[in-house]
Amino acid sequence: MNILCVCGNGIGTSVLLKINTESVASDLGMDVTVTTSDAGSAKGTANMSDLVLTSAELAPELEGTTTPVEVVANFMDTDEIKTILEKYSD
């Protein structure tokens, strides 16, 4: 599964979300590739992913993509990330 983590600039909080997503996915036994992006580029690259994780503030910018967009309220909350990933694990 390819997961895209999106934040405003693509280098700060999205990297924290990426690290936590990789950790949670590993715990769940999921095979994932996690990448990061800034909000401006994300709409163009979102369709190449299976799932997009972002904040509530940025989610509206990704409307119209064919990829599911999930809002993460707290990028450091691994339990929240786990709840989201469990919906997509096979």
Tell me which of 4, 7, 24, 42 is the catalytic residue: 7
Separation CA 85–CA 77 (nearest Å) = 13
Is residue 7 annotated as a catalytic residue, yes or no? yes
* Residues 14 and 52 sit within 8 Å (Cβ to Cβ): no
Question: What's the pLDDT score for residue 12?
Answer: 82
Residue 61: C-alpha distances to residues 6, 37, 47, 76, 89 (Å): 11, 13, 13, 22, 26
What pLDDT is stored for residue 9 in this prediction? 77
What pLDDT, on a 0 to 100 scale, did the predictor assign at position 10?
67
The pLDDT score that the predictor gives to residue 44 is: 87
Query: Average pLDDT per run of 10 along the chain, which is 90 residues long?
Result: 90 91 97 94 92 96 93 96 94
Say if residue 52 is exposed, middle or buried (CB neighbours under 10 Å; 0-12, 13-18, 19+): buried
Q: Nearest to residue 8, comparing CAs of 61, 80, 86, 82?
A: 61
